[in-house]
Amino acid sequence: MLHESGTGGFPKYGVVPQMPLTDVSFPVNLLDNTTYFQRRVGDDTAKLGYFKTQLENGVTIELSAARHSGIMQYEFPASGEKHVLVDISHYLPDENGGSSVQVYLGGEMHIDETGKQYTGFGTWGGGWNRGAPFTVYFCADFDTPPDEARTFRGRNTDPVARYHTFSNEPYQQPTFGNDSAASGPLNDRIGALFTWANSSSATIRSRVGVSFISAKKACQFRDDEIPTWSLNDTVAAAIREWNRDVFAKIKVPTDDSQNRTNLVLLYSSLYFMHLLPSDRSGENPLWQSDEPSWDDFYASWYDTEGYNPI
């Protein structure tokens, strides 16, 4: 939902994730994603404003997004368990280590009385730009009330450089709570597990808004940008916006006499050229201004060595 996870180097962002699970019994440990990791099977489908994939556990995932929000649709197997894990302490890892790895620094999570909505924030540091810590506020809901919604917490065992952890100790099992969880620097990991009974609908949808300013603003983004539970409505809105703001700026013949390869290259290039930088107008937590604000602008192109921006 932050629209940027790296430009081929170290990862960045990948935060406020959801993970659909069909089993959370031992040896699954919600604090250790190697115990519930699911490979994708079959062919993915990727179109403008739309992505679809299927996991080994039989869950089909469909995604779409707006400027500050995203919608997820999970189709679970007809019978069996249905869970959605939200791990606030998760971030995009880098197995090679180094000076640009990310680190979780703390956060809060609150589930409302219906169990359908959760809000809070997380703070992370490091990443591709070796940046200072940044805080992302979130506001999410589900179309179907879960039968059970529990926060959890557990010891932070991440082996982060320049940061004291318990990385030499094994993963512990999470401790479940009620509707709130919080942690700060050098403190615990937190998250929540939402569960639907076998008799519930096989399709679970979720909308998530994010903001660098507040959870209230994240809720507003979610409701304004994704006003319906139809994933196709968000896909259609994304297509309209891209056509209006980008593709319609250049008009070329597209009849059968044209070279289709060149047409695909042209419009694919227009698409990738406009993924960065990110428009953060009104979303800079360091000042209030009506002026446009853009970030995530690393480089337009790279030289043949792959590192030096041109």
CB 2 within 8 A of CB 13: yes
Decide if 289 is inside a domain. no
Coil/strand/helix, residue 132: strand
- Residues of the chain above pLDDT 90, percent: 57
CATH number at residue 207: 2.70.98.10
Decide if 12 is inside a domain. no
Ranges of beta strands (E only) in 186-289 are: 189-196, 203-211, 278-279
User: Across all residues in the chain, what is the average pLDDT?
Assistant: 87
Query: C-alpha angle with apex 179: 93 to 189, nearest 5 degrees?
Result: 25
Decide if 310 is inside a domain. no
CB 86 within 8 A of CB 17: yes
Q: Bigger pLDDT: 50 or 285?
A: 50
CB 13 within 8 A of CB 92: yes
Banded model confidence at residue 7, pLDDT cuts 50, 70, 90: low
CB 123 within 8 A of CB 105: yes
pLDDT digits (tens, 9 = 90+) for 59-83: 999 999 999 999 999 999 988 899 9
Decide if 241 is inside a domain. no
Banded model confidence at residue 180, pLDDT cuts 50, 70, 90: confident
Decide if 239 is inside a domain. no
* Structural domain that includes position 191: 18-228
pTM of the model: 0.88
Domains: count for the chain: 1
Task: Say yes or no to pLDDT of 307 above 80.
Answer: no
Task: Say yes or no to pLDDT of 254 above 70.
Answer: yes
The whole-angstrom separation of Cα 240 and Cα 49 is 10
Can the peptide bond before residue 93 be classed as cis, meaning omega within 30 degrees of 0? no
- The amino acid at 181: A
Instruction: Over range 260-267, report the average pLDDT.
Output: 94
Instruction: Over range 231-256, report the average pLDDT.
Output: 95
Instruction: Over range 253-262, report the average pLDDT.
Output: 93
Decide if 9 is inside a domain. no
Show the tokens assigned to 56.
Answer: 């080994």
The reported pLDDT for the residue numbered 298 is: 63
pLDDT digits (tens, 9 = 90+) for 141-156: 999 999 999 999 988 8
Q: Is 14 left (phi over 0), alpha (psi -120 to 50) or beta?
A: left
pLDDT digits (tens, 9 = 90+) for 195-223: 998 777 899 999 999 999 999 999 999 99
Q: Give how far Cα 114 sits from Cα of 41, 148, 187, 222, 223, Å.
A: 34, 10, 28, 18, 18
pLDDT digits (tens, 9 = 90+) for 102-141: 888 889 999 999 999 999 999 998 887 777 889 999 999 9
Instruction: Over range 162-172, report the average pLDDT.
Output: 61
Decide if 287 is inside a domain. no
The whole-angstrom separation of Cα 162 and Cα 144 is 43
The reported pLDDT for the residue numbered 310 is: 47
Task: Say yes or no to pLDDT of 305 above 80.
Answer: no
